[in-house]
Amino acid sequence: MRAVLFPGQGSQYVGMGSDFYEKFDLVKKIFKTVDKTLGFSLSHIILNGPEAKLKLTQNTQPAIMAIGVSIFNVLKNHFDLNLNNAKFFAGHSLGEYTALVCAGSLTLEKATYLLHERGKSMQKAVAPGQGAMIAILGMTIDDVQKEINLLPKKEICEIANDNSNGQVVVSGERKIIEVLSENLKKKRKKGILLPVSAPFHCSLMKSAAENMKDKIENTNFLKPKPNIISNVTAKEEMDVNRIKPLLI
């Protein structure tokens, strides 16, 4: 096995992981640990909603991590898949935290705390409804940048994720993202607004990054096994002194 990949925000839905929760005690144990760390029942929100609460990024982030860690452990313990023999672990955005937990670098409790704080910091940076993200399909990153360059410069609209050749995510203020969406429709290009509560991975998140710096630096990380592919460098990382600042 070459790699194990973990998802990020936008993959959440009410009831996710319910089949694993009902069937496997280890999943119940993971959910219980997450609930205890947070001091409220995130598991109830995951399994029962409401969707509006699950969509809040301070809930979404630890929720997706909890599901990823749960499925990873079910595959290891009940299906005899030695996933830690993979050459790399990687995760999309918050999925990198999931990867670090599964690689033994972060405890479940520490990742839960950091992701909840990360979500609160991100939501505080931009009020709900004021930002947006759009995934653009079938265009190169250069062509997407050209579309952004045609927009008014007074509002923030930036490339957030270069997911693949033909899938680029743009983040920024909602009004200008909606203008970009309409421009794409007129040109018969496909853009999908993402179900997120804040515009991640753009300069609007600067205050969130500053708030998370000390929290991450003061958290004990162990060397991951296997190594992690960083979202920032797209390279193999094994040194926690490099991994930590790349998470900020």
Residues taking part in catalysis? 93, 201
Q: Estimate to the nearest angstrom the gap between the alpha carbon of 131 and the chain centroid.
A: 16
Q: Which secondary-structure segment (H or E) carries 237?
A: strand 236-237
User: Strands, E, within the chain: which ranges?
Assistant: 3-6, 88-91, 131-137, 157-164, 167-173, 190-193, 227-229, 236-237
Cα separation, 37 vs 176, in Å, equals: 38
| Partner residues linked to 91 by β-bridges | 6
Q: How far is the C-alpha of 103 from the C-alpha of 92, rounded, in Å?
A: 15
Burial class (CB in 10 A: 0-12, 13-18, 19+), 199: buried
